[in-house]
């Protein structure tokens, strides 16, 4: 059996399904192929389920505060909260299923045909899915990415990736996290709040090294308060199963060559050392990969093969973020329909959903200085915002920081750390995308009482006249 279409999308993640829906809206006959559930890594086994568990962990931890003898916020409960991890996972899966069905409905409403199965490429524009052969005029590769597996720590048994961690139906007594990046820290803090002892092993000199020390500081304080053990400057060397648990071997980067490795006993070992593109099986397409396995594309996400595009985590354009994939998916569908589009964002927001959250869009002070900009910087503390206080958001500390050019006051970047701070990033990204000046934001009335007022105040601080801080 064979089918023909104008657009074939391989992978129904946040890039693929958006590309397919937009192509369908534009009147293009579109087929999308997905080997698992529509929604991809972000919706099914990444962003959404992890944020659900993070929320559940914070609720559980907050109830523990209320159970203390003097309570919290004047609220007390008669005894400690109890956790049924299997039920929590079930609640998380209900959210995932609801969103999965929503994506399938949206595809259908746009006239897109969803085919379940794995696409096997026969050539650049022909794939085989089971017994069906699909020929397309245009192909969009949205294959996504998978966790990197360490050769000396293969995923099996007690050695798990983020995917397995999000489905644990029992809270491990001791969780060892290999890798102090955003995934490791998000899940490490989550399981600590759920009751696990947590140890983080990081090869570099600090966790979250992509952020500057000022942004990391409130998070590092929280890690200490939660009694999460963080070992920096160490390399994991291997594991050994010991009576149902796992012995983890690691060594300091400063250790002598003949030094004996250090040891930890863990119930689960979560390896979060990054992700790699799912680009295997693309050889018949003729698309060119770079040395890391990413599909090489131009500013239109076009590969070296005419009519073949690649978006999201599998391509070498942009960060490996769901919102980047979605943006590229919409863009490519419009390019195929004849619109003039290129991938050239002014700024892409990055968020770490730790406790507290860390957000960055645009240039940090160091990056702006290195780029040759004369800068001015202003900050506003979360503890000075009324709405933050009413939500107990100030307990983790934090601030909003604005970076602007000194000469023309053009905003170059905004960073922040604190509870619930991620919800403010839309305004910041829009400000950079539209080339806003400090005066543009300063003259904008921000509703009271809201946390968005912190953006206004941080801009005023950059101008040298904040109202609610000194």
pLDDT at position 258 is 83
Q: Is 353 exposed, middle or buried (0-12, 13-18, 19+ CB in 10 A)?
A: buried
Q: How confident is the model at residue 239 (pLDDT cuts 50, 70, 90)?
A: very high
Q: Is the peptide bond before 356 cis (omega within 30 degrees of 0)?
A: yes
pLDDT mean over 269-279: 96
Instruction: Note the pLDDT of residue 281.
Output: 94
Please report where in the chains the tokens 């594309």 appear, as a residue: 297
Mean pLDDT of the region 362-383: 97
- pLDDT (mean) for 376-394: 92
Question: Token pair 């060559």 is at which residue?
Answer: 257
Contacts of 112 (CB under 8 A, 6+ apart): 20, 21, 23, 24, 30, 31, 32
Can you tell me which residue has the tokens 């730790």? 354
Give the pLDDT score at 416.
98
Mean pLDDT across 222-251: 95
Percent of the chain with pLDDT over 90: 88
**C-alpha span between 134 and 125 (Å, rounded):** 8
Question: What average pLDDT does the segment 216-225 reach?
Answer: 95
Residue 197 has pLDDT above 90, yes or no: yes
Q: In terms of pLDDT, which residue wins out, 78 or 33? A: 33
* CA separation for the pair 376, 412 (Å, rounded): 10
Reported confidence tier of residue 447, pLDDT bands at 50, 70, 90:
very high
Residue 420 a catalytic site member: no
Q: What is the pLDDT of residues 52-85, one digit of tens each?
A: 999 999 999 888 877 776 777 888 888 788 899 9
Write down all domains in the chain, each with its CATH number in brackets.
2-147+276-336 (3.50.50.60), 159-273 (3.50.50.60), 350-463 (3.30.390.30)
What average pLDDT score do residues 148-158 get? Answer: 93
Residue 261 has pLDDT above 70, yes or no: yes
Q: CA–CA separation, 292 vs 396, rounded Å?
A: 38
In the set 373, 448, 456, 468, the catalytic residue is 448
pLDDT of amino acid 69? 66
Asked whether the predicted pLDDT for residue 396 surpasses 90, the reply is no
Quote the mean pLDDT of the chain.
94
pLDDT at 243: 86
Tens of pLDDT, residue by residue over 277-314, are: 999 999 999 999 999 999 999 999 999 999 999 999 99
Global pTM? 0.94
* Tokens describing residue 173: 């007594």
Contacts of 243 (CB under 8 A, 6+ apart): none
């Amino acid at each position: 059996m064979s089918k023909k279409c104008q657009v074939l999308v391989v992978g129904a993640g946040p890039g693929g399904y958006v590309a397919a829906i937009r192509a369908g809206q534009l009147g293009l006959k579109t087929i999308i192929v997905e080997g698992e559930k529509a929604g991809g890594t972000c919706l099914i086994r990444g962003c959404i389920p992890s944020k659900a568990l993070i929320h559940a962990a914070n609720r559980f931890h907050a109830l523990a505060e209320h159970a203390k003898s003097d309570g919290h916020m004047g609220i007390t409960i008669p005894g400690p909260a109890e956790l049924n991890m299997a039920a929590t996972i079930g609640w998380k899966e209900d959210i995932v299923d609801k969103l999965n069905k929503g994506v399938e409905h949206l595809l259908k409403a746009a006239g897109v045909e969803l085919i379940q199965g794995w696409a096997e490429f026969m050539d650049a524009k022909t794939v085989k899915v089971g017994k069906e052969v699909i020929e397309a005029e245009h192909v969009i590769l949205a294959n996504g990415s998978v966790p990197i597996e360490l050769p000396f720590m293969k995923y099996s048994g007690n050695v798990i990736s983020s995917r397995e961690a999000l489905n644990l139906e029992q809270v491990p007594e001791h969780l060892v996290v290999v890798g102090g990046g955003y995934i490791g820290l998000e899940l490490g803090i989550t399981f600590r709040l759920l009751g696990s002892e947590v140890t983080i092993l990081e090869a570099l000199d600090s966790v979250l090294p992509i952020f500057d020390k000022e942004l990391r500081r409130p998070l590092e304080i929280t890690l200490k308060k939660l009694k999460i053990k963080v070992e920096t400057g160490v390399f994991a060397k291997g594991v050994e199963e010991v009576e149902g648990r796992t012995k983890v071997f690691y060594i300091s980067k400063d250790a002598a060559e003949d030094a004996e490795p250090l040891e930890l006993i863990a119930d689960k070992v979560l390896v979060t050392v990054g992700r790699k593109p799912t680009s295997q099986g693309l050889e018949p397409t003729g698309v060119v990969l770079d040395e890391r396995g990413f599909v090489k594309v131009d500013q239109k996400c076009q590969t070296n093969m005419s009519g073949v595009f690649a978006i999201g985590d599998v391509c070498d354009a942009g960060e490996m973020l769901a919102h980047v994939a979605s943006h590229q998916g919409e863009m490519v569908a419009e390019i195929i329909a004849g619109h003039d589009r290129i991938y050239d964002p002014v700024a892409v927001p990055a968020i770490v959903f730790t406790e507290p959250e860390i957000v960055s869009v645009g240039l940090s002070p160091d990056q702006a200085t290195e780029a040759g900009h004369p800068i001015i910087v202003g900050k506003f503390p979360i503890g000075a915002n009324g709405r933050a206080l009413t939500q107990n958001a100030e307990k983790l500390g934090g601030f909003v920081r604005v970076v602007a050019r000194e000469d023309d006051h053009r905003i170059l970047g905004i960073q922040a750390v604190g509870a619930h701070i991620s919800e403010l990033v839309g305004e910041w990204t829009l400000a950079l995308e539209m080339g806003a000046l400090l005066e543009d934001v300063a003259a904008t009335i921000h509703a009271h009482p809201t946390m968005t007022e912190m953006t206004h105040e941080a801009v005023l601080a950059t101008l040298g006249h904040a109202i609610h801080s000194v």
